[in-house]
């Protein structure tokens, strides 16, 4: 094995030994340790461009921006090929795929054997979390993909600083990734929570291969969080600043296609002049109980891996600003001059001619989409004009409210506050989105996605609910818990709430409730704003429409509560009893109304 640019830049024997073993297995032509320097970024980028992995975009218009196309069979996370490899199937639970760890190591080990022949193995040291934070975890990803190395550089705090933080300890996540031949039949994403290890093979795409994100920060993180008494959650974190300078932090979980990144970067409407939303994170929150008895959150990431289609000056001006430099675009469309990118829902007229995400010529008459619906931007957090000044604070930010949001055409009102912590956990556990026709052909079927963690919980979800419930006893000042729904529709299928920046009106009520200074009405299923509690001034919306957005329809809720039973049943004895008792209590209260 020849070493090219660098010998192990570590005196950590655990790390040196593991890299040696993995290199002996994968047999790369050389092993390159990355330090995270600017010189290194230039060198890797030039090499990626020379090899056709990246295409340089117009550097005057989009400095530091590049374009990448993944294999057409490799454009999204693969849940059916994602496994939790715990000693017993019961530990993984009914909502995860499980593989015996021994079998998984053997099966994937066979595929990794010689997988990097003729290739380079990059050693990518990274931190999830700010340097020097007690919450931060160190990971090392070994990968044969230069695209992965460059994306990890944006998404995490990568390089020498991570090795410095690791020191000589053995406390690091061991991530191994090979693109292999991008064959879906030889594609597996395996997590070994007990070994703090992730093996990913056969994919070159996003969530499957940027191992710090979904694999470490959520699946392994949730497992460690339960062991160590903290929470790893699929949540954005934002700060709401009032004109008086009062700052309130909120964490929010939404299933996919609810506009989580848009909410994390929201700009308040004119009526809220002087109010400001600061982004701490757009996807993941790690939360622990502070010495003051409050819940404190950090964003373990350092960038945004956002869905491009639908991102525009209307839906997210801060994101549009963020992706103007030092950004990698994956599977969007390319303009005809190959200097810029395009996607469905971008501002301005649809270009007459483009090159689509597969590299084929596209015209505005084409029936196919130009950008893949799951096409992405990878952009540094530092580009965000609304970036919170506390993103690098080792203590994180104190959370006053937790929001669970779904995409529901009916039933769930614009906003609902839980009666207490346990009821809030029940709200999170029953979170769901209604399927759209495009996804399944069936409209109006609720797909449950508890805490938006269904694909990301690294252990039995029954135990996960229990862990959430237990957190209450460590929290002297627990955040208040809310449910929101921006997506309610009228009989004609029209959205009744304007959403986007106008969600500030809901957020203000949430902040005031969390601080105990505004009123609410007790409905059977939770606290709701009284008419007049939501500040709707300057909003062109009829009283009738507001009622449609905020109303609680008890008949719909009866159906809802009955439908939750089946979902809960799959967890058997592992489901905390109190969750099903909440369901029964609310149903009994509804039945008591004599409807």
Sequence-distant (≥ 6) Cβ neighbours of residue 506 within 8 angstroms? 414, 415, 484, 534
**Residue 299 CB, nearest distance to ligand TSX (Å)?**
18
**Residue 318 CB, nearest distance to ligand TSX (Å)?**
11
**Residue 92 CB, nearest distance to ligand TSX (Å)?**
30
283 binds, among ligand TSX, Mn ion, none (CB under 5 to 8 A by kind): Mn ion
212 binds, among Mn ion, ligand TSX, none (CB under 5 to 8 A by kind): none
Q: How many C-beta neighbours within 10 Å does residue 443 have?
A: 13
257 binds, among Mn ion, ligand TSX, none (CB under 5 to 8 A by kind): ligand TSX
C-alpha–C-alpha distance, residues 192 and 196, integer Å: 6
65 as an active site residue: the answer is no
DSSP 529: P
- Residue nearest to Mn ion as judged by C-beta position: 283
C-alpha angle with apex 256: 321 to 501, nearest 5 degrees? Answer: 45
Of residues 289 and 496, the one with the C-beta less far from ligand TSX: 496
Candidates 246-254, 282-290, 496-504, 509-517; binding stretch for Mn ion (CB under 5 A): 282-290
Q: How far is CA 212 from the centre of its chain?
A: 12
Of residues 144 and 301, the one with the C-beta less far from Mn ion: 301
Q: What share of the chain is helix, strand, coil (3-state, %, to 5)?
A: 35, 25, 45
- State the helix-helix crossing angle for 146-155 and 38-50, rounded to 10 degrees: 140
Q: List the one residue out of 189, 192, 190 whose CA is nearest residue 203.
A: 189
262 binds, among ligand TSX, Mn ion, none (CB under 5 to 8 A by kind): ligand TSX
301 binds Mn ion (CB under 5 A): no
398 binds, among Mn ion, ligand TSX, none (CB under 5 to 8 A by kind): none
**Residue 256 CB, nearest distance to ligand TSX (Å)?**
8
283 binds Mn ion (CB under 5 A): yes
430 binds, among Mn ion, ligand TSX, none (CB under 5 to 8 A by kind): none
C-alpha–C-alpha distance, residues 461 and 571, integer Å: 8
DSSP code per residue over 23-85: HHHH--SEEEE----HHHHHHHHHHHHHTTSSEE--TTTSTT-EEE---TT--S--GGGEEE-
**Residue 263 CB, nearest distance to Mn ion (Å)?**
12
Q: List the one residue out of 580, 564, 557, 585 whose CA is nearest residue 469.
A: 580
**Residue 503 CB, nearest distance to ligand TSX (Å)?**
5
Of residues 233 and 283, the one with the C-beta less far from Mn ion: 283
Residue numbers at the binding site for ligand TSX (CB under 6 A)? 257, 259, 262-263, 266, 310, 315, 486-487, 495, 498-500, 503
63 and 326 Cβ atoms separated by less than 8 Å: yes
- Residue nearest to ligand TSX as judged by C-beta position: 259
489 and 410 Cβ atoms separated by less than 8 Å: yes
Give catalytic residue positions: 258
Footprint of Mn ion (CB under 5 A): 283
């Amino acid at each position: 094995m020849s070493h090219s640019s660098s010998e192990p830049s570590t005196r950590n024997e655990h790390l040196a030994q593991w890299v040696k073993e993995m290199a002996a297995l994968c047999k790369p032509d050389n092993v390159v340790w990355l330090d995270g320097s600017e010189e290194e970024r230039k060198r890797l980028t030039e090499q990626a461009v020379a090899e056709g992995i990246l295409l340089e975009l117009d550097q005057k218009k989009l400095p530091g921006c590049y374009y990448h196309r993944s294999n057409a069979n490799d454009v999204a996370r693969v849940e059916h090929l994602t496994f939790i490899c715990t000693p017993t199937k019961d530990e993984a639970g009914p909502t995860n795929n499980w593989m015996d760890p021994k079998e998984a190591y053997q099966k994937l080990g066979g595929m990794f054997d010689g997988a990097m022949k003729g290739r380079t193995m990059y050693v990518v040291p990274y931190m999830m979390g700010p340097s020097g934070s007690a919450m931060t975890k160190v990971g090392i990803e070994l990968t044969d993909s230069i695209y992965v190395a460059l994306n990890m550089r944006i998404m995490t705090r990568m390089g020498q600083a991570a090795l410095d933080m690791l020191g000589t300890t053995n406390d690091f996540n061991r991530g191994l990734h090979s693109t292999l031949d991008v064959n879906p039949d030889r594609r597996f994403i395996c997590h070994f929570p007990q070994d703090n290890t992730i093996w990913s093979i056969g994919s070159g795409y996003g969530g499957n291969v940027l191992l710090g994100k979904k694999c470490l920060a959520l699946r392994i993180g949730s497992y460690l969080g339960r062991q160590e008494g903290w929470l790893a959650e699929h949540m954005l974190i934002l700060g709401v600043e009032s004109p008086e300078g009062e700052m309130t932090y909120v964490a929010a979980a939404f299933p996919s296609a609810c506009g989580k990144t848009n909410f994390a970067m929201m700009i308040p409407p004119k009526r809220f002049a002087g109010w400001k939303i600061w982004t701490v994170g757009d996807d993941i929150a790690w939360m622990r109980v502070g010495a003051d008895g409050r819940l404190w959150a950090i964003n373990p990431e350092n960038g945004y891996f956002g869905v491009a289609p639908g991102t525009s000056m209307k839906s997210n001006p801060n994101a549009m600003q963020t992706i103007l430099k030092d950004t990698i675009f994956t599977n969007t469309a390319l303009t005809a001059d190959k200097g810029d990118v395009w996607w469905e829902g971008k501002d301005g007229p649809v270009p007459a001619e483009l090159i689509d995400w597969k590299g084929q010529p596209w015209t505005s008459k084409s029936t196919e989409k130009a950008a893949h619906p799951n096409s992405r931007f990878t952009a540094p957090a530092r580009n965000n004009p609304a970036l919170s000044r506390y993103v690098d604070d080792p203590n994180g930010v104190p959370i006053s409210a937790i929001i669970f949001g779904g995409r529901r055409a009916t039933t769930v009102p614009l906003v609902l506050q839980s009666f207490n912590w346990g009821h809030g956990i029940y709200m999170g556990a029953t979170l769901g989105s209604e399927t759209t026709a495009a996804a399944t052909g069936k409209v109006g079927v609720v797909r449950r996605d508890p805490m938006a963690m269904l694909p990301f919980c690294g252990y039995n979800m029954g135990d996960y609910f229990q862990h959430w419930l237990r957190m209450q006893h460590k929290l002297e000042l627990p955040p208040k818990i809310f449910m929101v729904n921006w997506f309610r529709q009228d009989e004609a299928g029209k959205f009744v709430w304007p959403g986007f920046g106008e969600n500030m009106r809901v957020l203000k009520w949430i902040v005031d409730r969390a601080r105990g200074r505004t009123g609410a009405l007790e409905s059977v299923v939770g606290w709701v704003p009284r008419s007049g509690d939501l500040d709707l001034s300057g909003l062109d919306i009829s009283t009738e429409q507001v009622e449609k957005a905020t109303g609680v329809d008890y008949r719909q809720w009866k159906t809802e509560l009955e439908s939750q039973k089946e979902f809960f049943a799959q967890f058997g004895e592992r489901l905390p009893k109190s969750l099903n008792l909440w369901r029964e209590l609310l149903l009994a209260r509804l039945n008591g109304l004599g409807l």
